[in-house]
Amino acid sequence: MSQTQTNSAKYIKSSPWVLKSKNTNSNPQIRLFCLPFAGKGASIYHNWYQDLPPEIAVHPIQLPGRENRLNEPLLTELPALIATLTEAIYPYLDRPFAFFGHSMGALISFELTRQIRRKYGLEPIHLFISGRLAPQRRRLRPPLHNLPEEAFIDKLRSFNGTPEAVLQNLDLMNLLIPILRADLGMCEKYTYQPEAPFNCPISCFGGLEDREAELEDLEGWKEHTSSSFHLRMLPGNHFFLLDTKQLVLSAVMADLRAHLCLHR
């Protein structure tokens, strides 16, 4: 970290990409960046700060085309997203940082970590992966993002992540379907390229009933760190994160507490 960047951290301009939680103090010990799953925005992490100490600043990442960025064009190619997000997040890397991502957010976190390492020589102190098979593994199934609308909605229903009331609401689905198609397409077009493993620890979370990222798929993440790897399986399906938030945050706090203790 350059001295110029460290000093400029006091004058970080607000970014539409990097949001701040209500309790974000001006001098946190760690920044925790949280990336959403397909079809969702930063609001899924809006209250995480309530269960973490003020030493950890929670920064939900807001992608274009949703919530307060609804009028912006959706991104459909992962390399373009990573390139832009890397630039946006760099001013916030003025102190130790960690990434948390669920499903699509896990893939973004992984490639964002790689790009930050390539471009700036920095790594997070911890990478938290949730509900996503290891990137070197592929789910062998036809693409979903370009299915006809009726078949697309049937697939969404089978994932049990979208309430039936939403699936039956034409206005809501007209907003949601383009976002989901863009996000799913970005994941389905992803091509993994081997690189050296990270030096930081990786903690991985999975749902015991999740058929999108099963135990052996999650275990593949240990290939991406030369440090420690910790896998926790929690109750629930692919969207276990929504029902086990307290368990996930307790684990995140336990893994980050070691760093807080070592650097007091």
Place of tokens 């949703």: 66
What distance in Å separates the CA atoms of residue 254 and residue 91, rounded to the nearest whole number? 27
Place of tokens 């960025």: 69
* Known catalytic membership, residue 26: no
CB atoms inside a 10 Å sphere around CB 194: 9
What distance in Å separates the CA atoms of residue 236 and residue 207, rounded to the nearest whole number? 5
What distance in Å separates the CA atoms of residue 106 and residue 100, rounded to the nearest whole number? 7
- Residue 208: CB partners within 8 Å, gap ≥ 6? 233, 234, 235, 236, 240
What distance in Å separates the CA atoms of residue 125 and residue 262, rounded to the nearest whole number? 12
State the burial class of residue 142 (Cβ atoms within 10 Å of its Cβ: 0-12, 13-18, 19+): exposed
Point out the catalytic residue in the list 2, 15, 43, 103.
103
End-to-end CA distance of the chain: 19
Long-range CB contact pairs, 74-78, < 8 A, 24+: 74/178, 74/179, 74/182, 75/182, 75/186, 76/182, 76/185, 76/186, 77/186, 77/189, 78/107, 78/108, 78/111, 78/186, 78/187, 78/189, 78/190
- Residue 109: CB partners within 8 Å, gap ≥ 6? 33, 35, 99, 100, 101, 127, 128, 129
As annotated, the active-site residues are 103
